[in-house]
Amino acid sequence: MVLPVQVHPDETLARFIATAGRINKETLRPRVELFMPHPYFELSVFRTTEISHQACRDLGQREFADKLSIPTALVGWTDLKARHIFERKLTLDTSSPPNDPSHERPANVMGWPAFPGDRKMEKALHKEIALELVAAASTVRFASAGANEAAK
């Protein structure tokens, strides 16, 4: 499926999770660190509108977890509507990597504000934005079979 370059505000984006430490164990929501850009001012998400749980899980395993420096089992993901990104004055870049069929449905959250010379203030502001994104994101969808039911 060829997706338009422009992301529609109602599109669903998945932020994949490879570390259980990124999940609040009480609420099953992502922790704020999951939405903090590091080491660059960009955050990797995937465009997952209208794909099944299994297809999303396979995408996350193949395009995210398997491509980590130490490939691992995908823990899960959280969903977020693109409009929440735009509401925070951030942008979505879908152009990288251009025309590379080995990458599927990627997008980068860009436009994070910078405070040159004051990394701590910059981080505080990014944290504020990340808190808003966490509040807008879904509870975590677990990759392992039956895990979502068990977590309830």
Partner 1 sequence: MIPFASDAVPRYAIYRSLSEASGMDGRLVERKLREVGEDVSESVAQSGNSMKALSALNELFSVASEGNWDGESGIAVTPQVFANARRFLEQVPTRWETPEVSADPDGEISFEWSSDVRRRFSVSIGSDERISSAWLVGSERGHSVNIFLSEVPRQLLDHVDQVLAG
Q: How far is the CB of 136 from partner 1 (least distance, A)?
A: 9
Strands 43-47, 91-93: pairing kind? unpaired
Q: Are 14 and 114 in contact (CB under 8 A)?
A: no
**Among 10, 70, 100, 101, which residue sits at the site for partner 1 (rule: CB under 8 A)?**
70
121: contact with partner 1 by CB under 8 A: yes
20: contact with partner 1 by CB under 8 A: yes
Per the document, the length of the chain is 152
Q: How far is the CB of 27 from partner 1 (least distance, A)?
A: 7
99: contact with partner 1 by CB under 8 A: no
**Among 8, 9, 27, 66, which residue sits at the site for partner 1 (rule: CB under 8 A)?**
27
24: contact with partner 1 by CB under 8 A: yes
**Among 3, 12, 29, 93, which residue sits at the site for partner 1 (rule: CB under 8 A)?**
29
45: contact with partner 1 by CB under 8 A: no
Residue type present at position 97: P
- With a CB cutoff of 8 Å and minimum separation 6, the contacts of 116 are none
Q: Are 3 and 47 in contact (CB under 8 A)?
A: yes
Q: Which of 128, 126, 127, 137 is nearest to 29 (CA)?
A: 137
Cα 103 to Cα 53, 64, 141: the distances in Å are 19, 10, 22
Site of interaction with partner 1 (CB under 8 A)? 18-29, 31-33, 36, 38-39, 68-70, 72-73, 75, 118, 120-121, 123-125, 127-128, 130-132, 134-135, 142, 144, 146-147, 150-151
